[in-house]
Chains A and B, each alone.
Chain A
Amino acid sequence: EVQLVESGGGLVQPGESLRLSCAASGFTFSDHYMDWVRQAPGKGLEWVGRSRNKGNGYTTEYAASVRGRFTVSRDVSKNSLFLQMSSLKTEDTAVYYCARGPYCNSNFCPGPFDYWGQGILVTVFS
């Protein structure tokens, strides 16, 4: 059974940093793209960033709103995905979801998010 479990959320002040973790199980972690998606209170879904699979060198992509402040990484030995967030702003307040992207065996792998974690709340307050 595929499971994604986020941790590391909490309350921080603007300008501070926070690292979210996502523990993955039930599938071959290195074969899939992995993503972070967030949802501000009462708002819609916003894609945050991606880590591609091993075959694509675990390269990353980011939404313009977080590029240069957030970093997505993996620890393959622990089947864990991370989101390092720095220079946090009040507008980063949201529930952050870890989501499994497509299985990939080439260099172009379009696909949806088929499994999601339960989400973790990050609150940035001044």
Chain B
Amino acid sequence: DIQMTQSPSTLSASVGDRVTITCRASQSINTWLAWYQQKPGKAPRLLIYEASSLESGVPSRFSGSASGTEFTLTISSLQPDDFATYYCQQYHSYSLTFGGGTKVEI
């Protein structure tokens, strides 16, 4: 299986901060990577697909980028609604895998 290593596991930040979360794949996945946001007790929400494409309805402060097997989710200016856990997911292989998650807290 392709392993997705996400860092950091926890991130402390303030409203207005620029936040960056990294996900590294154990092998090439082209750009077949998605980012999800999950709040407690809720289902995940798709934010970014194909590494850098913004899902419809997602604020433009969210962006994604790729360099080889390293992928980045950036929140340009953290808002109160953004405190949540974020997951990356590869969909390159038949066996789909998620990163371990990054909790963004105050």
Contact = CB atoms under 8 A, between A and B. Distances in A.
A44 B98 contact: yes
B12 interface: no
Contact of B43 (A44, A63, A117): A117
B87 A110 contact: no
A100 to B, nearest CB: 10
Residue among A45, A111, A116, A117 with most chain B CB within 10 A: A45
A114 B92 contact: no
Contacts, number: 51
Contact of A113 (B44, B94, B100): B44
B36 to A, nearest CB: 8
**How would you classify the secondary structure of chain A's contact residues: helix, strand, loop or mixed?**
loop
Contact of A110 (B91, B99, B101): B91
Interface string B73-106: 0000000000000010101101111111100000
Contact of B34 (A64, A113, A118): A113
A6 to B, nearest CB: 10
Q: Could you say which interface size class chain B belongs to?
A: 20 to 34
B71 interface: no
Interface in A30-49: 35, 44-47
Pick the most buried of A44, A61, A117: most chain B CB atoms within 10 A of its CB: A44
B34 A119 contact: no
Contact of B46 (A35, A47, A114, A117): A114
Smallest CB-CB A-B distances: 10 pairs? A112-B34, A116-B43, A47-B96, A112-B49, A45-B98, A44-B101, A110-B32, A110-B91, A61-B94, A114-B46
30 contacts: A35-B96, A44-B87, A44-B99, A44-B100, A45-B36, A45-B44, A45-B89, A45-B98, A45-B101, A47-B89, A47-B98, A50-B96, A61-B94, A61-B95, A63-B95, A64-B1, A64-B95, A97-B44, A110-B32, A110-B91, A112-B34, A112-B46, A112-B91, A113-B34, A113-B36, A114-B49, A114-B55, A116-B43, A117-B43, A119-B43
